[in-house]
């Protein structure tokens, strides 16, 4: 190893000496360009180059869209540190989770500088830490809030956990874990309540754990609101199967939503390079990862020889190249008549190029077959982490500049509304 380092050092010296004085001066006169290159470098596996950042203006932004046409995008609040998820309180305030473990409140367009106290200790690793937030279906009565997070286990391990606490004033009280997965089960975790009051939670796996029915990685789980297992889960009593499992064969699920009218469960799932998916989740079904996928590995090789086989479910929608898919919401409001019935998903970056994030709008027919899709907010050059329909019938979007650094660069909560 020392010999190789010596050879490399000699080659660098020779290369530097080969540069003429004019060339050396030219390099020295371009620090801004070199800094731009370093800033554009994506720290992900592919090391892709990105485009220049764009600052969000203080005034509303007007964009044209394919069917709704003119929309206005308003910056509601700024100054988050890696925002991850969003939930709406009955009094009109909004809760935003931050990856480092903070739960923030936005009230009347103002981000409270004081985070809510009482959140559990999290382990921040890569893209994960404190992730999703959901209100109990009877929140107005019991004030219960649920959080999904990466829980430290010992000195160097962590696992997915779900915590529950009661919101009183500016704090969570009586906070306790209602479910802790077998370590290590790291990665993105989303949660959502079904119309029957049962709690769905996603787990992540990048390997064959997703196919192991005795392992909780790469699954969707279904639990009661206290973390216990419902007796009607699809694998109850089946030898070798964990009773919490609702579906299996998933990679990194970064969006989860329950249709407010039909009660159907949908999830979004990261491929590697390509193969991002929107899935319609049915009990007991296998969604194929990593046996089948429309994506490729980070090396460029195919993830699997074919994208589908008997016994696995096809995605409703998939993307090649990847858009770095994230949160999902159904639009059922009246403020955007041309968008009613559409599905919206977030995207972090397209084709592994930094600052190419977007909001994707998908139009389906009555059989939930895709008709068309549209990319929105691409002009902002931001990573779209989450999207939700608000109680006011408008769309709310969490964005950030990048995934590295202490804050994620410029971050904001945006509101999309009809333009006059």
Q: List, for residues 235-271, the tens digit of each pLDDT value.
A: 999 999 999 999 999 999 999 999 999 999 999 999 9
The pLDDT assigned to 48 comes to 52
Q: Are 81 and 135 in contact (CB under 8 A)?
A: no
The pLDDT assigned to 49 comes to 67
What CATH number has the domain bearing residue 251?
2.120.10.30
The pLDDT assigned to 151 comes to 96
Distance, in Å, from the CA atom of 94 to the CA atom of 44, rounded to the nearest integer, reads 31
DSSP letters, 267-300, are EEEE-BBB-EEEEEE-TT-B--TTTS-SSB-TTS
Indicate the SS3 state at residue 380: helix
The pLDDT assigned to 377 comes to 98
The pLDDT assigned to 20 comes to 32
The answer to the question of residue 157 being in a domain is yes
Q: In Å, how far are 134, 197, 406 from 88, measured between CA atoms?
A: 9, 18, 26
Q: Are 99 and 126 in contact (CB under 8 A)?
A: no
Distance, in Å, from the CA atom of 189 to the CA atom of 162, rounded to the nearest integer, reads 9
Q: What's the alpha-carbon Rg for the chain, to the nearest Å? A: 23
Which residue, 291, 123, 112, is CA-closest to 207? 291
The answer to the question of residue 10 being in a domain is no
The pLDDT assigned to 287 comes to 98
Q: Show the tokens assigned to 363.
A: 């139009």
Residue range of the domain that includes 95: 78-342
Residue 129 has a CB neighbour count (10 Å cut-off) of: 20
Number of domains in the chain: 1
Distance, in Å, from the CA atom of 354 to the CA atom of 348, rounded to the nearest integer, reads 8
Distance, in Å, from the CA atom of 360 to the CA atom of 347, rounded to the nearest integer, reads 7
Distance, in Å, from the CA atom of 33 to the CA atom of 28, rounded to the nearest integer, reads 10
- The values of phi and psi at residue 210, to 5°, are -60, -25
The answer to the question of residue 13 being in a domain is no
The answer to the question of residue 200 being in a domain is yes
Question: Which residue positions in the chain have pLDDT lower than 70?
Answer: 1-49
Q: List, for residues 295-304, the tens digit of each pLDDT value.
A: 999 889 999 9
Residues sharing a CB contact under 8 Å with residue 281, sequence separation 6 or more, in sequence order: 220, 246, 247, 264, 265, 266, 267
Report whether the peptide linkage leading into residue 266 is cis, meaning its omega lies within 30 degrees of zero.
no
The answer to the question of residue 248 being in a domain is yes
Handedness of CA 404, 164, 215, 224 (dihedral sign): negative
Q: List, for residues 141-198, the tens digit of each pLDDT value.
A: 999 999 999 999 987 889 999 999 999 989 999 999 999 999 888 889 999 999 999 9
The answer to the question of residue 211 being in a domain is yes
The answer to the question of residue 66 being in a domain is no
The answer to the question of residue 18 being in a domain is no
Distance, in Å, from the CA atom of 161 to the CA atom of 154, rounded to the nearest integer, reads 14
């Amino acid at each position: 190893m020392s010999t190789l380092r010596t050879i490399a050092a000699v080659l660098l010296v020779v290369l530097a000496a080969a540069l003429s004085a004019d060339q050396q001066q030219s390099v020295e006169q371009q620090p801004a360009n070199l800094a731009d290159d370093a800033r554009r470098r994506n720290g992900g596996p592919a090391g892709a180059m990105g485009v220049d950042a764009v600052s969000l203006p203080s005034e509303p932004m007007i964009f044209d869209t394919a069917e709704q046409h003119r929309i206005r995008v308003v910056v509601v609040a700024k100054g988050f540190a890696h925002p991850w998820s969003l939930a709406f309180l009955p009094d009109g305030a909004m809760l935003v989770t931050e990856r480092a473990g903070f739960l923030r409140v936005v009230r009347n367009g103002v981000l409270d500088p004081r985070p809510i106290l009482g959140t559990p200790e999290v382990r921040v690793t890569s893209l994960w830490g404190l992730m999703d937030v959901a209100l109990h279906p009877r929140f107005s009565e019991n004030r219960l809030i649920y959080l999904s997070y990466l829980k430290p286990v010992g000195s160097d391990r962590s696992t997915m956990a779900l915590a529950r606490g009661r919101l009183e004033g500016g704090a969570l009280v009586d906070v306790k874990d209602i479910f802790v997965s077998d370590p290590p089960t790291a990665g993105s975790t989303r949660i959502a309540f079904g119309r029957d009051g049962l709690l769905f939670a996603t787990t992540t796996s990048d390997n064959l754990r997703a196919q192991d029915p005795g392992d909780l990685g790469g699954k969707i789980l279904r639990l009661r609101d206290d973390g216990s297992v419902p007796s009607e889960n699809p694998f109850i009593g089946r030898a070798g199967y964990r009773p919490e499992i609702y579906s299996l064969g998933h990679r990194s699920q970064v969006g989860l939503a329950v249709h407010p009218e039909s009660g159907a469960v949908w999830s979004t799932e990261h491929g590697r390079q390509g193969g991002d998916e929107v899935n319609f989740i049915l009990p007991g079904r296998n969604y194929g990862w990593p046996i089948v996928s429309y994506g490729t590995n980070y090396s460029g090789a195919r993830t699997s020889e074919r994208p589908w086989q008997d016994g696995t479910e096809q995605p409703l929608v998939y993307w090649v190249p990847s858009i770095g898919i994230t949160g999902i919401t159904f639009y059922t409001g009246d403020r955007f008549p041309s968008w009613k019935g559409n599905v919206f998903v977030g995207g972090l970056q397209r084709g592994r190029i930094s600052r190419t994030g977007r909001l994707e709008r998908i139009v389906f027919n009555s059989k939930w077959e895709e008709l068309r899709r549209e990319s929105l907010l691409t002009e902002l050059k931001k990573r779209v982490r989450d999207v939700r329909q608000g109680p006011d019938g408008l769309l709310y979007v969490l964005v950030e500049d990048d995934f590295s650094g202490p804050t994620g660069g410029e971050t904001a909560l945006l509101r999309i509304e009809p333009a006059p």
